[in-house]
Structure formats: C-alpha cells, structure tokens
Structure 1
Amino acid sequence: MTWIKPSFLWMMYRCGWGTKPGQETVLAVEITREGFEWAVRNACLSSYVRGLHPDRSAWQRELKRALARVQWDPERDLHLQPLPRRSLQLGLSGEAVRRYADEWTVSINDVTPLAREIHALVSGGDPHSAAQLLPQERDYPGTDELTTHLRS
C-alpha cells in the first residue's frame, strides 16, 4: 500500500521531521486533481463506522474490494501535537498504485532540506520563522461532496 499524506505537518509527524530510520528523505509528490479525486471516490474507510456501513462484514467486503482507503488522523501543529481537526490520509493499492505512478504524478520534489530547516527553527524556539516557511495549504474545494461516503 502507498499512502498519500496531503498535510505537510502530518507528514512531519509521521516521519519525525525526516529523522526516523528509513524515513530520512521527505518527498513532495504533486499529482493531478483528477487522480486524487478518482482515488477518493473509489476509497473505503480504513475502519468500520457504525451507521455509515450497514454492518461490519459489509465494510470488510467493501474494504477488500476498494482500490483506495481513507483514514482521518488529527492534524498537527508545529510541535507535532494533535489539533482538533482531522487530515485525510489516502492509501492506494493495486490499480490505484499503477495509476498514481504512471498517470497522476506531475512532479516529485525533495523537501528534506525544508523539513530540516523548519524543524531547526522550531527546536531553536522560533516558531514564527518556522511557520513562515511552511508550504501553503488550503482546504480542498468540494470536499463535502467528494468525501460524503467517507464520513460518519
């Protein structure tokens, strides 16, 4: 399974600012809107939610067939502490991975130096300067319509 993590700070939480073993390189992968939306439309939640799924076995069947899965994890602040809002994490498998690699990927950039610079500023007690370097992120347009089947 390949995971897309659209939130920079959530990714920093996951990879420990690029310091965790095997996660020392941080890549920003730009994909097409069409590809991202295809994956979300073809996704299933990674965990069972009573009321959203008819029952646990129906969810398990859906998950087994799904080419993508979504989990909602707490967004993170500059100190990587959880915030009250959630960020989408999008897991791809099978045909979705092939499409991601062969059709959807627009660019790949190594943002490891940026991650290290922001981390150094945060660690050095200068969160204001660190925040100025964060990549611009904004709410994804049309999220409600796109993710209705993925919300409890």
Structure 2
Amino acid sequence: MAPQYEIRADYDAHTIVVYQAYAPAIADAALQAGRFVAPFSFHRMTWIKPSFPWLMHRSNWARKPGQERVLAVRITRQGWEAALSRATLTTADPAAVAQAAVHVQWDPERSPRGAALNHYSIQVGIGRHLIRTFADDWIVSLTDLTPQVRKAAALIQTGQAAKAQRLFPAERVYPLPRRLEGALSPGR
C-alpha cells in the first residue's frame, strides 16, 4: 500500500484504538456498561476511525450535535483485521458496496487546525450484521476522551496548536498484513 494510504493508529501487540463520537446518552450508557448498549443502534452501520485528528475534524472537536462525546474504543487487532478482511471500498461497484459487511473509505487526514493533509486516513464502517460481534467480542475497553478533546480544542483556539497536539494519542503506521493490502488499496 502506498504511504499516502497507510493506516496510522494507536496500537499495541494485541489491540488497536479506534475513535467514535456520540451523543451523551449513548456515550454515558456505553461507559457505564463497559460496552455498547441501548440507545446505541445495533441496526445501522457504525463507523470507526483510527485517526484521532480526523475524528476531531469530523466531530468539530466534540461540538457537532450528536457527537458531543468522544470515545476511544480499544478493540482486538484480530477483530480489526477480521473487519478489514471483509471490507469493500466505498468507491467499488455500488452493488458490491450494498452487499458488503464492512465499508472502507479513505479521506484526507487532518492537521490539528483541520486543514487537509496530503495523505489519507481510513474510515471503517461496520455493517449491521457484524455490529454485535464488534460490540460483544472485539471491544476490550471504552475510554471517554471528551475532557482531553475540549482541552485540546481550547488550546487550538488560543493559537497553541503545538501544545494541543501533545494531548493527542500517539499514532504510528499500523503493520497491515500483506494479504489485506490489495483489498484496501484505492488504486486496485
């Protein structure tokens, strides 16, 4: 896979962190239960993103309605790679995308101030037929990052982007198994 399309993430030997932004009711219930429970919807696709800066852009730093709480969702690498092995690029044939259990799209990565960068960040949509597996089998832990997000946003607003970036989770290139590279490459 070209460096322009590398997956960057916070991971260890057994897990990877993905980020999601939710309304307070969903986040509170999930944090209390230690996993996703109602009012989380198990009947629609849920998008997970290993890029913290990209989710900050998408959620407007936890200020977008319905995305006021940011969760770090630590999942097993085995689950992550199982999802990727079932993925179809959203740029593929529409019939294939409609049938896919998992959707993958690549969007420009973002700087702390939200500017598009010259490399791409992966977004992974877990379809409704896999959501229970995601929620019940892959999730290791949930962490509320909202206070950290708000502090970083305040620093950026006051011109202290470098200081804010120190609050970002450390992300590095994820060692994707070679068997998955071709299926996830936008140029295939």
| TM-score scaled by length of structure 1 | 0.88
Within a 5 Å distance, the mapping from 1:1-150 to structure 2 comes to 1-48=45-92, 59-142=93-176, 145-150=179-184
Q: CA deviation at 1:81?
A: 0.8
Distance 1:115 1:149 in 2: 33
Q: CA deviation at 1:142?
A: 2.3
In angstroms, what is the RMSD of aligned CA positions? Answer: 1.2
Which structure: greater helix fraction?
A: 1
Please tell me the residue identity of whatever aligns with 1:11.
L
Instruction: Give identity over the alignment, percent.
Output: 44
What SS class does the counterpart of residue 166 from structure 2 fall into? helix
Structure 1 unaligned residues grouped into runs of 5+: 49-58
Indicate how the Cα distance of structure 1 residues 78 and 143 shifts in structure 2: closer, same or farther if over 3 A, else same.
farther
Superposed CA offset, 1:7-51 (max 9, x none):
001000110000011111111111000000000110001123xxx
Distance 2:58 2:175 in 1: 25
Q: CA deviation at 1:60?
A: 2.7
Please tell me the residue identity of whatever aligns with 1:9.
P
| TM-score scaled by length of structure 2 | 0.72
Structure 2 unaligned residues grouped into runs of 5+: 1-44
What SS class does the counterpart of residue 162 from structure 2 fall into? helix
Q: CA deviation at 1:144?
A: 5.2
Please tell me the residue identity of whatever aligns with 2:74.
E
Count of paired positions:
142
What SS class does the counterpart of residue 66 from structure 2 fall into? coil
Please tell me the residue identity of whatever aligns with 2:102.
A
What SS class does the counterpart of residue 114 from structure 2 fall into? coil
